Amino acid sequence: MNSLSLRTQQQGIRRTLWWLLLMLCGSVAFTVALVPLYDVFCELTGINGKGVNSAQVLQSTGIDQQRNVEVQMVTRTAAGMNWHFSATLSHKAVHPGEIHQMWFRMQNLGRTTGRAHAVPSISPAEASNYFLKLECFCFNDQQLAAEEVLEVPVVFQIRSDLPEDLHRLTLAYTLYPQTGP
Amino acid sequence: MTSNSYSSATEHAHEPQLRGLKRWLLTTNHKEIGTLYLIFSLTMFFIGGTMALVIRAELFQPGLQLVQPEFFNQMTTMHGLIMVFGAVMPAFVGLANWMVPLQIGAPDMALPRLNNFSFWLLPLAFSLLLSSLFMEGGGPNFGWTFYAPLSTTYAPPSTNFFILSIHLAGISSILGAINIIATILNMRTPAMKLMDMPLFVWTWLITAFLLLAVMPVLAGVVTMMLLDINFGTSFFNAAGGGDPVLFQHLFWFFGHPEVYIMILPAFGIASMIVPAFARKRLFGYRSMVYATASIAILSFVVWAHHMFTVGLPLAAQLFFMYATMLIAVPTGVKVFNWVATLFHGSISFEVPMLFTLAFIVQFTIGGLSGVMLAIVPADYQYHDTYFVVAHFHYVLVPGAVFAIIAGVYYWLPKWTGYYPDETLGRWHFWLSVIGVNLTFFPMHFSGLAGMPRRIPDYALQFADFNLLSSLGGFLFGLSQLLLVWVVVRCVRGGKPAPDNPWEGAEGLEWTVPSPAPLHTFSTPPEFIPERDSPSRA
């Protein structure tokens, strides 16, 4: 191989390297973007059952008196939470389109002030985009002094265009301890 | 050689021959680095294999006999990590280092010093990983898939070392991939077009692109783990608004292409060996290339078939099920092409061919159980049972590992100048085939009967199958000592091999002397596509 073709080869290698480094940067950028993309995707489709994490607007599409949908309330506390957390009503039959308010009761059983945050989950997941939370204690942290009791509401509406095959929704709240600011 | 300037440049590379440790520490020669990779991989194969035997010894009979469950968990985790990242991947990189420049007529890799660096990262990475076994709280115990929060909130303190070692191994893979692509795209002998390349080179080119695309995702995942563990972020922590399922999506977005990274070069090796010993040209060269590329592209859209049970919407389950089944088409193309190459061939059964034929049959068994696992409702039943263990071991051990061993037997005469001992090789082959099938075939049944994976104890009804698996495991493991014996003997001497030791073998690697001198192809070899291309009419 003569020096000219060797030089062309070296240039070729250098050019390939730049392309590959660019590709590598692309995959790194893609990886970083995957996390926010996942969140946006889940919020749009509701497939992780979380739904929207802020107050939603009331839909005035009328109440479907013919249909009854059962809403079940499930609560749990995460490991290490010395709180009592329960729903005042375990289930309720609602008509799609109606606005309802449900109450949850939490009590700090410990001896120190604690803070907690409830994370909602709606199943089946395809229902989560039809479950509108007009007001929810899960939008904020709750701070309770030792042995303090707090009753907190969630105001919700099930959209009247809820798919026909859904007859029962489960609204599950998990209470997690919060530390830090 | 037409010019002196290049010859003097290569002469420079020849001068002061370093000796001893420094020679290996500082080498930039693709053959020496290839050898280092292969030795490293073999060492890891035995370390990971010993862990597998600890697992099989514990599972020999029901109840807890030998190890504590905590240690058992570390063994399953480390066995997986070491075999995937320390044995199979470096073995393929080692074969690529040795053979890709020889097969395309290049004097060395494009970036020889980078090559040295990518290798030496590996011993560092795996000493770190292995050292975590001796730390307080033990080594990684959350399975090789390190699902969060098991690997974050509930992980042993040594997890930071695990993360660092995965980072190092990942960097090594990325640099190796860059090097291989740069070599293949720029250093082929002048007349060799892409469609004239041997299939081992083709499969490695595609594998290298896969590595480049997904290794950063793995690095990203472990970095997020590091942040979650040490810096109070909540990527995978539901308490802070994160999502543990995100971990699984990210991991398998890396993980599924990763399993093809471990099998595509094996396809390449089989596509070299089958034509050589059937004394026919490979049937369907082009379709082999396209099938490899299709498998690689499809590997990016099937990841969620590993997580059917996390609660995916129906539409997603259907999509991932059908996409996964679609992969059986290009894979089937490959298997049919190998069979068609054998058809009407004048076949001889030397040891490399034996391992390759076993590879084709056994890999197909693993592929078929893969299609079974792709069926969503069936997967609900099979998920996390020994059926899954049987499936991926069939593709990885009697699949990828057999192909690696076949490649070693095939190219050993070129590396050492001597034929490997045929009798010992046959013993190695038959003991391995019997051992590997005795180990993994009964796992299909224990899995279908409901035995869960990663558990040190089991219900009495699984006892017979586990006894068989354990016996097979020890037979397979111990018979690999024969491989070491064959290789050592072959390095020391034996029947001298000519330049082309196999009657039907084609390719530029067989035009250089056996053993291959340290420097080859300092002038590009003659390559006439009409005569030499594997895709010629």
CATH number of the domain residue A76 falls in: 2.60.370.10
Active site annotation includes B108: yes
In a domain, A152, yes or no: yes
Total count of domains within chain A: 2
**B423, burial (CB in 10 Å: exposed 0-12, middle 13-18, buried 19+):** exposed
Tokens encoding A9: 């080869």
Instruction: Give the H or E element holding residue A70.
Output: strand A69-77
Across B100-183, the runs of DSSP E, i.e. the strands, are none
Note the pLDDT of residue A1: 58
CB pairs under 8 A between A and B: 100
From the candidates B306, B414, B444, B454, which is the catalytic residue? B306
Q: How far apart are CA B402 and CA B395, in angstroms?
A: 10
Q: Are residues A86 and A7 in the same domain?
A: no
Q: How far apart are CA B369 and CA B391, in angstroms?
A: 6
A158: β partners: A131
pLDDT tens-place string over residues B224-266: 999 999 998 889 988 777 889 999 999 999 999 999 999 999 9
Q: Are residues A102 and A159 in the same domain?
A: yes
Q: Are residues A34 and A97 in the same domain?
A: no
Other Cβ atoms within 10 Å of B513 Cβ, number: 12
pLDDT tens-place string over residues B472-497: 999 999 999 999 999 999 999 999 99
Active site annotation includes B153: no
CB nearest to B243's CB, from A13, A48, A176:
A48
From the candidates B30, B79, B167, B428, which is the catalytic residue? B79
Other Cβ atoms within 10 Å of B131 Cβ, number: 13
Q: Are residues A141 and A83 in the same domain?
A: yes
Question: Containing domain of residue A21, as a range?
Answer: 1-45
**Chain A hits for B2, Cβ within 8 Å:** 1-2
A94: left (phi over 0), alpha (psi -120 to 50) or beta: beta
- Determine the Cα angle at B240 with ends A102 and B238, to 5°: 75
**Least confident among A1-10, B201-210, B528-537:** A1-10
Q: CA of A160, closest CA in chain B: separation in Å?
A: 21
B180: β partners: none
Q: How far apart are CA B348 and CA A42, in angstroms?
A: 57
pLDDT tens-place string over residues B293-337: 999 999 999 999 999 999 888 889 999 999 999 999 999 999 999
In a domain, A37, yes or no: yes
Domain boundary among A29, A45, A61: A45
Residue B7 confidence (pLDDT) above 70: no
From the candidates B305, B391, B393, B454, which is the catalytic residue? B305
Instruction: Give the amino acid at B276.
Output: A
**Chain B hits for A6, Cβ within 8 Å:** 5-6, 9
> Which residue, among B490, B313, B310, B439, has the nearest Cα to B384 in the 3D structure?
B310
Q: Are residues A12 and A100 in the same domain?
A: no
Active site annotation includes B249: no
Name every residue whose Cβ is closer than 8 Å to that of residue B215 and which is 6 or more positions away in sequence: A27, B170, B173, B174, B177, B254
Contact B5, A3 (CB under 8 A): yes
Note the pLDDT of residue A66: 86
pLDDT tens-place string over residues B137-179: 999 999 999 999 999 989 999 999 999 999 999 999 999 999 9
Query: Which domains occur in chain B, in start order?
Result: 23-532 (1.20.210.10)
For residues B381-388, average pLDDT: 96
> Which residue, among B477, B395, B396, has the nearest Cα to B432 in the 3D structure?
B477
> Which residue, among A119, A28, A31, A178, has the nearest Cα to B246 in the 3D structure?
A31
Residue B13 confidence (pLDDT) above 60: no
DSSP-based three-state secondary structure for B418:
strand
Q: Are residues A106 and A73 in the same domain?
A: yes
pLDDT tens-place string over residues B50-74: 999 999 999 999 999 999 999 999 9
Q: How far apart are CA B2 and CA A175, in angstroms?
A: 77
Q: Does A31 sit within 8 Å of B239, measured CB to CB? A: no
In a domain, A57, yes or no: no
**B183, burial (CB in 10 Å: exposed 0-12, middle 13-18, buried 19+):** buried
Q: How far apart are CA B358 and CA B440, in angstroms?
A: 14
Note the pLDDT of residue B2: 39
In a domain, A114, yes or no: yes
End-to-end C-alpha distance for chain B, whole angstroms: 31
Note the pLDDT of residue A46: 74
Q: ipTM for the complex?
A: 0.87
Contact A113, A88 (CB under 8 A): no
As a whole number, the mean pLDDT across chain B is 94
pLDDT tens-place string over residues B68-95: 999 999 999 999 999 999 999 999 999 9
pLDDT band at B26 (very low <50, low <70, confident <90, very high): very high
End-to-end C-alpha distance for chain A, whole angstroms: 67
Compute the Cα dihedral for B504, B508, B512, B514 and give only its sign. negative
Q: Are residues A36 and A112 in the same domain?
A: no
For residues B206-223, average pLDDT: 96
Q: Are residues A39 and A106 in the same domain?
A: no
Note the pLDDT of residue B28: 94
Q: With DSSP H G I counted as helix, E B as strand and the rest as coil, what are the percentages for chain B, rounded to 5? A: 70, 0, 25
Residue B14 confidence (pLDDT) above 60: no
**Preceding omega of B149 cis (within 30 degrees of 0):** yes
Q: Are residues A38 and A89 in the same domain?
A: no
Q: Are residues A89 and A150 in the same domain?
A: yes
Domain boundary among A12, A29, A45: A45
DSSP-based three-state secondary structure for B253:
helix
Q: Are residues A76 and A31 in the same domain?
A: no
Other Cβ atoms within 10 Å of A52 Cβ, number: 17
Given strand A141-144, what is the order of strands in its sheet? A91-94, A69-77, A168-177, A114-123, A141-144
For residues B432-460, average pLDDT: 96
Residue B528 confidence (pLDDT) above 50: yes
**Chain B hits for A47, Cβ within 8 Å:** 312-313, 316
pTM across the whole model? 0.91
Given strand A99-108, what is the order of strands in its sheet? A83-87, A99-108, A149-158, A131-136
Contact B332, B284 (CB under 8 A): no
In a domain, A24, yes or no: yes
> Which residue, among B485, B361, B357, has the nearest Cα to B428 in the 3D structure?
B485
Note the pLDDT of residue B3: 38
Tokens encoding B236: 């995978």
> Which residue, among B119, B112, B295, has the nearest Cα to B206 in the 3D structure?
B295
In a domain, A95, yes or no: yes
In a mutagenesis test of the A interface, which of B246, B247, B300, B527 is the best target, namely the one with the most A β-carbons within 10 Å?
A: B246
In a domain, A64, yes or no: no
In a domain, A60, yes or no: no
Low-confidence residues of chain A: pLDDT under 70: 1, 51, 180-181
**Chain B hits for A8, Cβ within 8 Å:** none
